[in-house]
Structure 1
Amino acid sequence: MASTQRFSGYPLAKEGPKTAYVPAQDKNPPLRGWSLIIAAKLVTYFPSVAKATWGNAKFGCVKDIPGLNEYDWRLQPIVTPLIADGVVQSKAEITSDLYERQPDDLAGRFYSAADYHELFKSKKLTPLQVAETLLPLITRGQDPPAKYESAWSVTKEDLVLAAAKKSTERYAIGQPLSVLDGVPIGVKDDTDVEGYISHMGRPFDPSDPFFKPATSTIWPVAQLEAAGAIVIGKQVMHELGSDISGCNPRWGTPINWNNPLYYPGGSSSGGGSAISSGLVPISIGTDAGGSVRIPASFNGAYGLKPTLHRAYTMKSSICVIGPLAATANDLAIAYRIMTAPNSEDPIQGSFALSIPPSPSAKKTIGIYRDWFDQASPGVLNVTRKAIAYFTDKLGYEVVDISIPYVQEAQYAHSAWALTEGIDHHNSHAMDPTRPLTGLNNCNQLLMAVGSCTSGTDMIKYGQLRGLLMEHLAFLWKKHPGMLIVTPTAPEAGWLIHPADQAYGFSDGNITIRNMMYIWLANSTGCPAVTAPVGYVDPEQGEGKLPVGLMAMGEWGAEEQLLAWAKEAETYVNDAYEGGRYRPQEWANVVKIAKTAE
């Protein structure tokens, strides 16, 4: 049965052209060390070299798609589920099921918001004790360095302790604000929190006028703080959020505690690392090209990319603010609180609440097999087993679908992301005449190449986006409530090259490959969620590499995706052989805090 939800901006349901999926062989040379430095200078100072590199990256291939001029431009894929007439907008409810704690003897158990809430209510622990336990583990500048500091750029001890004391006082009188009261969270270093500088992964420069503490906290994070959550600090990110490995030579690369020889994924790399180490149950990230979902996947966590502008209207047509979490319940709690309607944001404030699906609703998984099957053998083995569980145990039906021009549209998304990134950086550059000064060599290269994108190219990218959105609307009309399922990333991890820690690196082939599934949700504005569904053995080092399975839903279908993530959690906890994996260096924050009493 089709949904009765009304939308603004919903695309025409029109099937796109039937095109064969032929994976392209990308030929972007990997650059590191001196080759990276030289290439960065060449593309910066010689526009012809930049343009040739742009062409080699296939950013211009979209103009060759026949019939594209028949489609309307979609420069912003804004599709808004509208509030019904006569209904007063309200906040999403934190329902009783989200207070449920996982069994204490569960394999690979992570602490959740419900765990902390119960400990605080029973006075077995206080928020202040937890904060005082965490700060020495993450704060930079100590000798020797704090064990888990790689995930954290800045902590403000005075702000953290003040918030923790207030939360402790509320519990003492039996008046906690919510299940999140006193729960520690982290926030990506491109997201404003009052009193903190948003470095965006760049090194601090006291002469830069843009490096000033924020005077207010951005709406989604402010809602979490209003619910009592304690921002323990800002988390390290890939510089400018321009790639997905998480490598950052300036701040240091956050550790993937599942296997430290592999990257944590980016660009919300610190958030993924902090969750895998057990320090926080929730991190807030941003996602313009998988930057919430890839680090969630690489670190064995849950990550949600909401519908475009659902949490906050950003100056972007692809980027959203979304949560990473240690459990599916915490992902839902964070999402529901941080998306409270903002009356001062006319787009975000007009969103109708996302509604959980009816238990009797038909469950459908759509798979584009030619695309899905491009993942590595290990990832395919894990994800296929998970899908078999969804079909055999949970009643999902799998339908075969196809999506036109996925290869070309991914190149278009990459070029679009770079163009938005250039504009955002240039508007914050200390010297507008030399905006690339001070960026690492990787970003000098990417920004110089991305600047070759013309206005005509952007129009063509927008037309291809329009084609895709119409095709997706066609698929959802044919299969109401369908979730399009893929691996989150085609590889379980990204092995670290030791030399990259000095200068960074650029490997467009691996970047494009690891983004091969996640870009579609960004380009079309759809919501998507990733959940860990198993593990593969690494090529090097000790520990396991998590594998994420991703579901993308119709615009406004966040609650359906969260319900699916909960089902995926049941699979990895109860049905997957060995259950969920917890890293050896996982920090038992509760035990440490109790020991310190």
Structure 2
Amino acid sequence: MNPTPASPTPVRDDLERRLAAIGEEAGRHVFTRVAARQARAEADAADARRRAGLSLGPLDGAIVSIKDLFDVAGEPTTAGSAIRCASPPAAADAPVVARLRRAGAVIVGKTNMTEFAFSGLGLNPHYGTPGNAADPARLPGGSSSGAGVSAALGTSDVAIGTDTGGSVRIPASLNGVVGFKPTARRVPLAGAFPLSPSLDSIGPLARSVAACAAADAVMAGEEPAPLRPPALADLRIGVPRGLLFTDTDPGVAADVEAALGRLAAAGARIADMTIDDLLERFALATAAAPIASVEAYEVHADWLDREGAGMDPRVRVRIERGRPVGAAAYLRMMRARAELIRACDARLLPFDAVALPTTAIPAPTIASVAEDDEAFSRTNVLMLRNTMVGNLFDLTALSLPLPGRALPAGLMLLARHGHDRRLLEIGAAIEACLG
């Protein structure tokens, strides 16, 4: 990403074009708030720096959107919920928002999301469901639904989302953009409305790995630096065939195999591996309720009985699954998770990355799940199945668009805890190979 070419379009002109596009597409429910006045001031400041020959880095003058669960000073943080519309305005920007502003990003507004970030499909009965970038009649993916659509339509250069079970990578996959989930807690979670603090992470969506890497570095408080993609012949890529490849759309499966074939032809060493036994052990450890439900119930417990009737019932029922789980059961879950994280790390040790479909299916129609609870549940589980591996096992993960698809889908790369920079560089190499 290079927002400061030799003869750049003025940032203000670029911003006005994006604002016009956002206005024209208001019916797609992508944004919940557009910060036009402040964005214009930020764009003018970026143009002034350019005229003076100054730059704050690779995000200076980039148009950035943020998911509607981050604190922005003076605004209520609604987290996609009508219940929180009357909540007190935030006293300060979330640290990631403040860091983006200091890096010169132009914050264009807040993007729509699943209520309280608790679904992989992107439906929102309060603010409308964003239409998929490839086909507005289809699901955008969630929970960072508006972020995925905004990045794909080009109304933002970078869209900032959160990822608890795939909420950055699913909308990236379904809308045909890149989505990055950093190692949990590497990017500060303060000022972001929580879903599941043990699993939450903050990541970018954009149209290139380089743009995601620049935004990730800024949010993590690191110095952005150009990626150095490795030679594909140096890479060892594991493919976890088994449970994570079942029920996959035939077209998606064929395109994943074609991508792996291209990597092998370029010299990458592709080898089958398995984590099915670890997945089965995780399912047993969390049989009482998912970790996300247990932690989400704690977040909402003080007001759930009083105000829960105003929530999306599909979100509330997932939160309520955590209600019966006591402290002893939760602590046992977390001890089992720590053991399984160590076991998964050992399983990934022989590989530079693990590759599999990001989502088993491309985007279904909104109508197919909007009124059918059984179809919603079945589709939501299938959408989250692969991506949640990265969160449960505390990995870093990246979704790349599979090339040439009318209905987008993604190739997901997983890497060991803390290997974020290495994964982004591997992703850049694979991105170049796949075109």
One fold, TM greater than 0.5? yes
1:150 aligns with 2:25: no
Q: Could you tell me how far apart the structure 1 residues matched to 2:408 and 2:232 are? A: 32
CA distance in 2, matches of 1:303, 1:357: 17
Structure 1 residue 384 corresponds to structure 2 residue 292: no
| Alignment partner, residue 448 of structure 1 | 320
Quickly say closer, same or farther: Cα 1:275–1:148, change in 2 above 3 A: farther
1:191, distance to aligned residue in structure 2 (A): 1.3
**One-letter amino acid matched to 2:415:** G
Q: Residue 249 of structure 1 contacts residue 504 of structure 1 at CA under 8 Å; is this kept in 2?
A: no
Structure (1/2) with the larger helix percentage: 2
In structure 2, what is the Cα distance between the partners aligned to 1:138 and 1:250? 19
What is the match of residue 420 of structure 2? 558
Ranked by relative contact order (alpha carbons within 8 Å, sequence separation 6 or more), the top structure is 1
Aligned to 2:392, which of 510, 523, 537? Answer: 523
Q: 2:363 aligns with which of 475, 493, 498?
A: 493
8 Å Cα contact 1:285/1:324 also seen in 2: yes
2:53 aligned partner: 174
Comparing 274-283 and 387-396, the one that deviates more: 387-396
The residue aligned with 2:290 is: 415
Q: Give the secondary structure class of the aligned counterpart of 2:104.
A: coil
How far does residue 189 in structure 1 lie from its aligned partner after superposition? 0.5
Cα displacement (A) at 1:249: 1.4
Alignment equivalent of 1:319, drawn from 183, 186, 200: 200
Q: Secondary structure at the match of 1:260?
A: coil
Which of 240, 245, 254 is matched with 2:130 structurally? 254
- Post-superposition Cα deviations, 1:459-496, rounded to whole Å, max 9, x if no partner, equal 3422431332122232244x1x4312211111122222
| Superposition pairs of residues 36-47 of structure 1, within 5 angstroms | none
Matches within 5 A, 1:347-426: 362-374=234-246, 375-407=248-280, 409=282, 412=286, 415-426=290-301
Contact kept? 1:281, 1:327, Cα under 8 Å:
no
User: Which one is further off, 484-493 or 396-405?
Assistant: 396-405
Q: Distance in 2 between matches of 1:213 and 1:149?
A: 26
**2:14 alignment counterpart:** 130
Superposed CA deviations along residues 294-337 of structure 1, whole A, max 9, x for unmatched, are 00000001011101101114661100011111111111111122
Shift of 1:131: 2.1
Identity among equivalent positions (%) equals 25
Judge conservation of contact 2:11–2:61 (CA < 8 Å) in 1: yes
Which is higher, the Rg of structure 1 or of structure 2? 1
Flag the 1:408–1:265 CA change in 2: closer, same or farther, 3 A: farther
* Alpha-carbon offset, residue 562 of structure 1: 1.0
Work out the CA distance in 1 between the residues paired with 2:116 and 2:373: 13
Task: Tell me which of 309, 312, 315 is aligned to 1:437.
Answer: 309
What secondary structure does 1:475 align onto?
A: helix
What SS class does the counterpart of residue 461 from structure 1 fall into? helix
- Could you tell me which amino acid in structure 1 is paired with residue 220 of structure 2? T
| TM-score, normalised with respect to structure 2 | 0.89
- Residue 179 of structure 2 is matched in structure 1 by 303
Shift in CA distance, 403/356, structure 1 to aligned 2, threshold 3 Å:
farther
Within 5 Å, give how 1:438-587 maps onto structure 2.
438-477=310-349, 479=350, 481-497=351-367, 500=370, 507-536=376-405, 544-573=406-435
Distance in 2, Cα, partners of 1:264 & 1:462? 32
- Structure 2 distance, partners of 1:499, 1:471, is 36
Q: Unpaired runs of 5+ in structure 2?
A: none
Partner SS state of residue 32, structure 2: strand
Does the 8 Å contact 2:57/2:104 carry over to 1? yes
Q: Taking structure 1 as reference, are residues 459 and 330 closer, same or farther at Cα in structure 2, changes over 3 Å only?
A: same
Alignment of 1:189 with 2:68, yes or no, is yes
**Post-superposition offset of 1:286:** 0.4
Contact 1:150 1:236 (C-alpha < 8 Å) held by counterparts:
yes
Letter in 1 for 2:238: G
User: Counterparts of 1:354 and 1:521 in 2: how far apart (Å)?
Assistant: 25
Aligned to 1:46: none
State the alpha-carbon separation in 1 of the partners of residues 341 and 228 from structure 2. Answer: 23
Q: 2: distance between equivalents of 1:194 and 1:410?
A: 40
The structural deviation recorded for 1:526 is 1.1
- Equivalent-residue separation in structure 2 for 1:409 and 1:357 (angstroms): 34
- C-alpha distance after superposition, 1:83-113 (max 9, x if no partner): xxxxxxxxxxxxxxxxxxxxxxxxxxxxxx4
Give distance in 2, aligned partners of 1:156 and 1:397: 46
User: Which of 97, 117, 125 is the equivalent residue of 2:4?
Assistant: 117
Question: Counterpart of 2:51 in structure 1: which amino acid?
Answer: A
Q: How does 1:220-235 map to 2 (within 5 A)?
A: 220-235=96-111
Distance 1:169 1:354 in 2: 25
- For residues 111-158 of structure 1, what are the alpha-carbon distances to aligned partners after superposition, in whole Å with 9 as ceiling and x for unaligned? xx42x422xx52x5211122222223325xxxxx64465110011222
User: Per the alignment, in what secondary structure is the counterpart of residue 262 of structure 1?
Assistant: coil
Q: Deviations over 1:539-587 (max 9, x none)?
A: xxxxx211201111111111221122212322332xxxxxxxxxxxxxx
Q: Which runs of 4+ in 1 moved over 6 A?
A: 353-358, 503-506
Q: How far 1:435 moved relative to its partner? A: 4.2
C-alpha distance after superposition, 1:237-283 (max 9, x if no partner): 00111101101111111111212221000000000010111211210
Q: Give secondary structure in 2 for the equivalent of 1:191.
A: coil
Q: Which whole-Å CA distance do the structure 1 matches of 2:379 and 2:281 have between them?
A: 17
Cα distance, 1:361 vs structure 2: 8.7
- The verdict on how the C-alpha distance between 1:505 and 1:196 changes in structure 2, with shifts beyond 3 A counting, is farther
Q: Within 2, Cα distance between the matches of 1:218 and 1:337?
A: 13
Distance 2:375 2:202 in 1: 26
Structure 1 residues 241 and 381: alpha-carbon distance in aligned structure 2, compared to 1, 3 A threshold:
same
Q: CA deviation at 1:522?
A: 0.7
CA contact (8 A) 1:164 1:230 kept: yes
Cα RMSD after superposing both structures: 2.8
- Tell me: CA distance 1:318–1:379, structure 2 relative to 1, closer, same or farther (3 Å): same
- For 2:345, what is the secondary structure of its paired residue? helix
Q: Deviation per CA, 1:483-522, whole angstroms, max 9, x where unpaired?
A: 1221111112222217828x99872222112211111211
